[in-house]
Chains A and B, each alone.
Chain A
């Protein structure tokens, strides 16, 4: 990325965020609220205190990983929206592995559990990649449907075969042993998923920017015929891109199990996968930008509660802000290459 295009991206993204905030201010006025006060609370809830920052980062952690599920295949020209399903499958596989590996000591066991979750998620989205490559099935539709299948599998397993009947309040799976849990980063209330998320974003950024594979994937995403002419192994690349994306979301599922819940239940299906799609688009499929955008969206989620409590706004208020943001960014993307300040002299 040249300096010029970096400036362009930064300028357009910032403008989009400002426009969204302005629109949200209008929404606040319609509700009879002082927009400046709303902005202040928005900031307070997201970044106003150490408590708020920790909340924001906790919210951001799973988004980073599920956003990669859309972003990596998108570099290869695929529109994958299967983060939700991959997360669920990753979580389920982690629980099963956790029960099987109950006697493995902590550190290697945890590594194995994370790997299992990632592989499960990777294979799940990999299925969509394979269907795309060999059968020409549209990957957007197939990943969407795979989400429903994953959730159905989860519901089936946790209400029957792997149900822990000691958990009476709602159906949940067996629990992973205490020694295989990772919990929070010491001294904070942020779980380790944040570290995994940042690491995965950085790793995939290097892969996409610094390797021949990344370059080849970008060619494939830019022009399939050119890629074919250049003799690139298109099938393998599609599969690998899908696998990597799915693995990131699967890892998010593993983290939800070993760092947050300790078991699989309907708590895995809370929309992280779908929010990740939004993050990926806002970040223009750039893994490094995903880390930052996740924090931004995490902040919006974290401050949503405070907005409700201070102004009596409905829960949907943050969805309104998210919606404005999405529309502003999409509208902003039409400006690329047209801004005078960054036009080549």
Chain B
């Protein structure tokens, strides 16, 4: 029998404690090393309006908060910056005074100014939300944008289940392809539930015209419409008005559920936080793409939390379709498809891929079931 060294309980505890302590310390050290490996980076966000507008700018401010949680990222924000040379000054201010290495200038009209500043500061990255980047533009600029027609389709499904009158409404800002895409998504979703549903379409002509938006909302409700979605800078007026009149609404841009506790169904949201991948790439010197469009599959769009009016089975159905977008088994534009003037857009069996930009960027029609005109000369 060999002589085993006897361990007293005290020795055992001390050893074990030591082992644990060593483990913890080495863990801390390695974590610190990992943190040191991530270069700290300052990221600027520029908004064209106020950050809490229940719309476009808020969607970006929400994303800014998410990006701020990435490792080593510090953000600086400035709001109410007009689309003039002023934004160039602000971008340069962020670069000079705050040391920003990535600047998100989050309004469409900032683009020409971004191109100018980007040529001057090749060590700074400028992701822009218009997907306007084209070959020849500086490599340190990026265009990216989500396919909002996909969440609009899901809103449409919710609307299709909830409408009692069979009449839904779409309020659009400008006669532009992505507004038509959203409108078509909304209608296709609703008519997938009940092909008899019709949708009143009104284009106001302005990004932001609360008075007209309120008028349109009231007149749509007076005509029997009982679900409305509004594609304007901030849908606050439309959502609040609809709530007051006791009908259902869907949100746009960002989560608007708090504005309509009774009538809110769900909403089409951007996931601009997807821009975090550009920050990471710039931080680590990794690759990035200069032009990126994506939907649920690329995690660039989302839907708002359901309102309490939406029953469980409808929620489950919507989640299933969303999964279809994610694994690309579900396509939004499928034949047979007619526009609302009776012209055949897609023949039986014809399917448009969800990322077919050539088709989507050229959409200048409203699908069957839409009551209204694009206002475009064809």
Binding site for B on A (CB under 8 A): 44-45, 49, 51-52, 55, 58, 169-170, 260-261, 267, 270, 305-306, 308-310, 312, 314-315
Contacts and interface: CB of A to CB of B under 8 A. Distances in A.
Interface stretch (B91-99, B149-157, B221-229): B91-99
Interface of B: 44, 50-51, 76-86, 89-90, 92-94, 96-98, 108-109, 111-112
Given A45-B97, A49-B96, A314 B83 contact: no
A312 B77 contact: yes
A261 B84 contact: yes
Nearest to B130: A169
Contacts of B78: 305, 308-309, 315
Contacts of B84: 260-261, 267, 270
Contacts of A270: 82, 84, 86
Contacts, number: 58
Nearest to B93: A305
Contact of A315 (B80, B83, B85, B89): B80
B219 to A, nearest CB: 26
Top 5 nearest A-B pairs (CB, nearest first) are: A309-B76, A315-B80, A267-B84, A169-B109, A308-B78
Contacts of B97: 44-45, 49, 51-52, 306, 309
Given A169-B109, A314-B79, A309 B96 contact: no
A267 B51 CA distance: 21
27 contacts: A45-B97, A49-B96, A51-B92, A51-B97, A55-B89, A55-B93, A169-B109, A170-B83, A170-B109, A260-B84, A261-B84, A261-B85, A267-B82, A270-B82, A270-B84, A305-B89, A306-B93, A308-B78, A309-B44, A309-B78, A309-B93, A309-B97, A310-B76, A310-B98, A312-B77, A314-B50, A315-B79
A55 B93 CA distance: 9
User: Which one of A49, A58, A305 has the highest number of Cβ atoms from chain B below 10 Å of its Cβ?
Assistant: A305
Nearest to A319: B80
Given A261-B85, A305-B78, A312-B77, A169 B96 contact: no
Contacts of B93: 51, 55, 305-306, 309
Contacts of A314: 50-51, 79
A169 B111 CA distance: 8
A71 B356 CA distance: 60
Given A305-B81, A305-B89, A314-B50, 19 more contacts: A45-B97, A49-B96, A51-B93, A51-B96, A55-B93, A58-B89, A169-B108, A169-B111, A170-B109, A267-B83, A306-B97, A308-B77, A308-B78, A309-B44, A309-B78, A309-B93, A309-B98, A314-B51, A315-B80
A186 B142 CA distance: 31
A330 B120 CA distance: 44
Chain A interface mostly helix, strand, loop or mixed? helix
B85 A260 contact: yes
Contacts of A312: 77
A169 B82 contact: no
A305 B90 CA distance: 7
B85 A169 contact: no
Given A305-B93, A309-B98, A169 B77 contact: no
A45 B93 CA distance: 9
A258 B90 CA distance: 21
Nearest to B47: A315
B120 to A, nearest CB: 10
Contacts of B109: 169-170
A251 to B, nearest CB: 18
A305 B97 CA distance: 10
A230 to B, nearest CB: 47
Nearest to B85: A260
A247 to B, nearest CB: 24
